[in-house]
Amino acid sequence: MSRDRPLLEFDLAPSIPPPSYAAAHDEEEEKDAPPRRWYHLLPTCVTVLFLLAPQPSWLIVLTRYHLGVLHDRRGFLQHLCITYALTLLAFSSLITIITRDPGRPSAQKTNSEPEEMNLTQALLANDLDYNTPGKWCRKCWAPKPERTHHCSHCGRCVLKMDHHCMWLGYKCLGHRNYTSFLHFITCITLLSLYFACVSVSATYYAFTNPLTIDEITPLHEMSLGLAGIVFTMVLGPFVIYHIFLVSTNQTTIEHLSPFFLLRQLPPLSPQHAADHPHLSDPPLEHELSYSQRRLVRDAHGYIKIYNLGWRKNWAQVLGCDKPYGWINRILFGGGGAGDGVNFPRNPQADELLVRLATELVDADKVS
């Protein structure tokens, strides 16, 4: 005789999103994180080397040119204070980036093992739609807040992830250390620009007054000038790009991935879902036609979901909400305002997303 089945059954395990559906929406979760090796820190050592390498030549230029030739003690102290202040600020933000966690969702464990839930937790967990794109991380096996992404290099989710940087501790830049990153690249750019200006001026003096200075000092001046110009040309546009991102309240991932807008679209009409069953709700990138893809790319240029105006955007990123909080921002950067989970949205974004969804439907009817 077979065992009688119970009258009531509770499915306490959360439903797992279909692999193909989740993988199509979460491309950043496709690869497992490789183990971190010692050689992953070599680029960070190169970064520190680049910060320290100009210092001997800089001291030679200051002592032999400004003190030995110009006898300008005030200028000597000025150049010394400015350059070493920028160097110390760059090191402080670099240490902050390396030592501070970029931001981990509080519901996620430190490993990728699924957490056992009791009855109450399982019933409460059913309020979350695990099949909603971007809401559930299949690697960390935990909810994934908005603007959070799973890093395949770190093997974890990062709050408001901007990008993974191998030059700064081989770690991600996110909600809690992105301001320090902005502080670091700004200090390095200003330091390079200062080296370039002072060294080019000293080199010009050496060529126009060859008998007043020794033969070795111009070599240091030309080396510093060339290095300063190169680093300024390389890092300058990078700083300008991140200033643009902060002013429009975007991350690098959001700016370079226009099809993330599909996750924010409102539900399609039931009639369209019945007439066009090949489209998911929300649509997937590979399901769109060429004209629909162009619509999404064009919409990405004017739909800024989290853009609140440049003043509020900078206040949110810098996070100077405490008395004298600006001191920390000057010293080492710090982290952003808020909890990194909830972000205010652009009040016009929802209307623009509705219009985009309508245009995608109309384009699908034409095709």
Q: What are the tens digits of pLDDT across the range 208-260?
A: 998 888 889 999 999 999 999 999 999 999 999 999 999 999 999 999 999 98
Q: Classify burial at 251, counting beta carbons within 10 Å of its beta carbon; exposed 0-12, middle 13-18, buried 19 or more.
A: buried
Rounded-to-integer distance, Cα 364 and Cα 360, Å: 6
Q: What is the number of domains present in the chain? A: 2
Q: Which residues span the domain enclosing 141?
A: 18-39+104-119+128-174
**What is the number of other CB atoms lying within 10 angstroms of the CB of residue 151?**
20
Predicted local distance difference test score (pLDDT) of residue 95: 95
Are 22 and 170 members of one domain? Answer: yes
Are 149 and 282 members of one domain? Answer: no
Residue 313 has pLDDT above 60, yes or no: yes
**What is the number of other CB atoms lying within 10 angstroms of the CB of residue 152?**
17
Are 160 and 31 members of one domain? Answer: yes
Are 33 and 170 members of one domain? Answer: yes
Are 35 and 156 members of one domain? Answer: yes
User: Quick check: bond before 17 cis, omega within 30?
Assistant: no
DSSP one-letter string for 223-273:
HHHHHHHHHHHHHHHHHHHHHHHHHTT--HHHHH-GGGGGGGPPPPPHHHH
The answer to whether residue 283 sits within a structural domain is yes
Q: Is 283 helix (H, G, I), strand (E, B) or coil?
A: coil
Residue 323 has pLDDT above 90, yes or no: no
The answer to whether residue 295 sits within a structural domain is yes
Contact 231, 124 (CB under 8 A): no
The answer to whether residue 269 sits within a structural domain is yes
Residue 297 has pLDDT above 90, yes or no: yes
pTM of this structure: 0.83
Q: Is 214 helix (H, G, I), strand (E, B) or coil?
A: coil
Predicted local distance difference test score (pLDDT) of residue 10: 43
Predicted local distance difference test score (pLDDT) of residue 276: 61
* DSSP state at residue 158: E
